[in-house]
Amino acid sequence: MLDVPSGRVTAVVTRERGVVTRVTFRNVDSYVLGRDVEVATERGVVHADVSYGGAIYASVPAPAVGLSVRPEHYAELLAISREIKWAVNDTNWARHPEDSRLGGVYATMLYDDLGQTRDGPHQRNVTVFADGQVGRSPCGSGTSARMALLAADGRLEPGQAFTHESSLDRHDQVGTGFML
């Protein structure tokens, strides 16, 4: 068990021959805080979805800012993510409804929607947190926040898996089997 500001998270690690093959965790409740939040940026007005999955995230499809989530776009992804974070952070959408300690946008997630697999939605994201650090993994609490949005859209049903890749495009950074 691990205690974090957002609540208690329980994780189970499965190993085969001493190698971690699976990690399962039950996160805190995840939910949508705001939809289609208008954000003025240097690239023009974009619309962010704001959700909670252990922290507050602003999500924007990368094509909405003229980019794709690829390593060659890091500098631009980083710059626009910082703009979005600080713009949304100053709105009521970035307030946690029950605990003011959890308020504020933790990170911006720009994502590419890679369609549906037979098991459920598939996306690639870059998570930019703090004031410009890029996460190398798809981000556990961010994945939960994305899942809340997908479920609200009817794209992720109970029992389906969400495949969530990091921008590094590396197999060990793919989050698969995230279940609703």
73 domain-assigned: yes
| Burial (CB count <10 Å: 0-12, 13-18, 19+), residue 15 | exposed
Contacts of 133 (CB under 8 A, 6+ apart): none
- CATH of residue 67's domain is 3.10.310.10
Count CA atoms within 13 Å of residue 131 on its CB side: 0
> Is the predicted pLDDT of residue 7 greater than 80, yes or no?
no
Dist CA 88 CA 66 (whole Å): 19
Range of the domain at 105: 29-179
Each residue's pLDDT tens digit, 53-82: 989 999 999 999 999 999 889 999 999 999
What is the pLDDT, as a whole number, of residue 141?
84
Dist CA 169 CA 176 (whole Å): 13
8 domain-assigned: no
What is the pLDDT, as a whole number, of residue 169?
57
* Partners of 48 in the β-ladder: 37
149 domain-assigned: yes
170 domain-assigned: yes
Domain count, the chain: 1
Which range has the worst mean pLDDT, 112-126, 147-161, 163-177? 163-177
129 domain-assigned: yes
Could you identify the residue written with the tokens 């089997």?
Answer: 177
Each residue's pLDDT tens digit, 107-146: 999 999 999 988 899 999 999 988 887 777 777 788 889 9
78 domain-assigned: yes
3 domain-assigned: no
DSSP string, 29-82: --EEEEEEEEEEETTEEEEEEEEESSSEEEEEEGGGGT--S-GGGHHHHHHHHH
- What is the average pLDDT value for the chain, to the nearest integer? 86
Read off the pTM: 0.86
DSSP H/E element including 140:
helix 140-152
Residue pair 123/113 in contact by the 8 Å Cβ criterion: yes
> Is the predicted pLDDT of residue 22 greater than 90, yes or no?
no
114 domain-assigned: yes
